[in-house]
């Protein structure tokens, strides 16, 4: 099986069937990471470039490990040590990388839409590893996989996403993903962190976390970027943590079998209390584990099998 598309740029453009194919493929790859020799020859001879314009530990490492476990050659470029600091444009960087004939470029970029631009410029596949406030499709896919494994389904579940929705690519990808698979999505956060007309995306908006997580099966807590405090979106970290952080008291409003997800890195005590982050509900490390499987699946579905 291969996806009938060159690139993975956004959950918004994937169909329900495509998402389900990616998830089932990822499930089948999980076992590879449990082996003593954690490698399959599937993508031998393929070249994957991880091009990261933003700092990242989890996502970059996850893509790199996924590539290596598939026997692809993975090259990491972080822009702090590349020609980007000399002022090279994305267009020129793209053309130069293209000249080395890679099979896939994984792009993390602070500008929304940069992966779409890159995909237009190169013949190889492009995977969006997070662009600005737009989307982070592989994160949503690993979240979907984690939830599906726990509940055996997505359809009919209640999902709550809490935090800075306006600036979150994770939120956008997850709203699209969970809605496409039939879950009911609620979002919560202060009005200053809610983007315009967000409900049209297929979710319900609440200002109080307690209201959004009522009877929720899944609560996804987003990272609060502390630099945002400078722009005044919330008065102080102290007030945010008091009113909007997920703690064990607010958690009482959720369903009994609720699980907690967080895309990381966590600000302990700001958006989530430590006891909740480390508690029995938390699937945070399961997410990280599934991240590798989902990224192996994406590589396989874009590059595996015979070329068309």
Partner 1 sequence: MNRLLIKGGRVIDPASGIDGLFDVYAVGGKIAAVKPYEPSAFSLQPNDWTVIDAAGLVICPGFIDMHTHLREPGYEYKETVQTGAMAAAAGGFTSVACMANTNPVNDNASVTRYILKKAQEEGIVNVFPVGAISSGLKGETLAEIGELKEAGCIAISDDGRPIVSSGLMRLALEYAKPFNLPVISHCEDAWLAIDGVMNEGFISTKLGLKGIPNAKEDIMVARDIALAELTGGRLHIAHISTKGAVQLVRNAKQNGLNVTAEVTPHHFTLTDEAVIGYNTNAKMNPPLRTKKDIDAIKTGLQDGTIDAIATDHAPQNSDEKDVEFDKAANGIVGLETALPLSLRLVAEGVMSFNTLIEKLSTNPAKLLGLDSKGSLKVGADADITIVDLNKEWVVDAKELKSKSRNTPFDGWKMKGRVVKTIVSGKVVYEE
> Measured between alpha carbons, how far is 198 from 133 in angstroms, rounded to an integer?
13
Q: How many residues does the chain have?
A: 308
114 near partner 1 (CB under 8 A): yes
By the rule CB under 8 A, 195 interacts with partner 1: yes
Smallest separation, CB 232 to partner 1 (Å): 12
269 makes contact with partner 1 (CB under 8 A): no
Pattern 152-171, binding to partner 1, x per CB under 8 A?
A: --------------x--x--
Among 28, 96, 111, 248, binds partner 1 (CB under 8 A): 111
Candidate list 21, 65, 90, 237; residue touching partner 1; CB under 8 A: 90
The two structure tokens encoding residue 181 = 């698979």
Q: Does 227 bind partner 1 (CB under 8 A)?
A: no
Binding status of residue 91 toward partner 1 by CB under 8 A: yes
Backbone angles phi, psi at 240, to 5 degrees: -60, -50
Q: Which two tokens stand for residue 111?
A: 């500008």
236 sits near partner 1 (criterion: CB under 8 A):
no
Least distance (Å) from partner 1 to the CB of residue 192?
Answer: 13
Binding flag, residue 172, partner 1 (CB under 8 A): yes
Cβ count near 73 (within 10 Å): 15
Among 46, 60, 69, 109, binds partner 1 (CB under 8 A): 109
Q: What is the DSSP string of 55-115?
A: --SHHHHHHHHHHHHTT-EEEEEEGGGSGGGGT--HHHHHHHHHHT--SEEEEEESSTTHH
Q: What are the helix and strand counts (H, E) for the chain?
A: 11, 9
């Amino acid at each position: 099986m291969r996806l009938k598309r060159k690139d993975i740029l956004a959950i918004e453009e994937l169909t329900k069937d495509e998402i389900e194919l990616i998830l089932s493929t990822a499930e089948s790859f999980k076992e590879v990471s449990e082996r003593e020799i954690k490698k399959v020859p599937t993508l031998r001879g393929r070249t994957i470039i991880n091009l990261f314009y933003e700092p990242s530990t989890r996502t970059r490492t996850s893509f790199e490990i996924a590539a290596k476990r598939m026997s692809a050659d993975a090259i990491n470029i972080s822009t702090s040590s590349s020609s980007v600091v000399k002022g090279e444009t994305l267009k020129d960087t793209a053309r130069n990388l293209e000249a080395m004939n890679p099979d896939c470029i994984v792009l993390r970029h602070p500008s929304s839409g940069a992966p779409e631009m890159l995909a237009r410029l190169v013949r190889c596949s492009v995977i969006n590893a997070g662009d600005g406030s737009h989307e982070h499709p592989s994160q949503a896919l690993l979240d979907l996989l984690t939830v599906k494994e726990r509940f055996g389904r997505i359809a009919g579940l209640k999902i709550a996403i809490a935090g800075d929705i306006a600036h979150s690519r994770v939120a956008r990808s997850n709203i699209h993903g969970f809605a496409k698979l039939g879950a009911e999505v609620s979002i919560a956060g202060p009005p200053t962190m809610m983007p315009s007309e967000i409900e049209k995306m297929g979710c319900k908006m609440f200002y109080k976390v307690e209201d959004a997580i009522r009877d929720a099966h899944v609560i996804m807590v987003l990272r609060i970027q502390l630099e945002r405090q400078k722009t005044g979106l919330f008065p102080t970290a102290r007030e945010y943590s008091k009113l909007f952080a997920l703690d064990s008291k607010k958690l009482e409003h959720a369903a009994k079998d609720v699980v907690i997800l967080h895309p990381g890195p966590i600000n302990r005590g700001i958006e989530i209390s430590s006891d909740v982050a480390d508690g029995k509900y938390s699937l945070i490390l399961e997410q990280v584990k599934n991240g590798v499987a989902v990224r192996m699946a994406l590589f396989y579905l874009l590059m595996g099998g015979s070329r068309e």
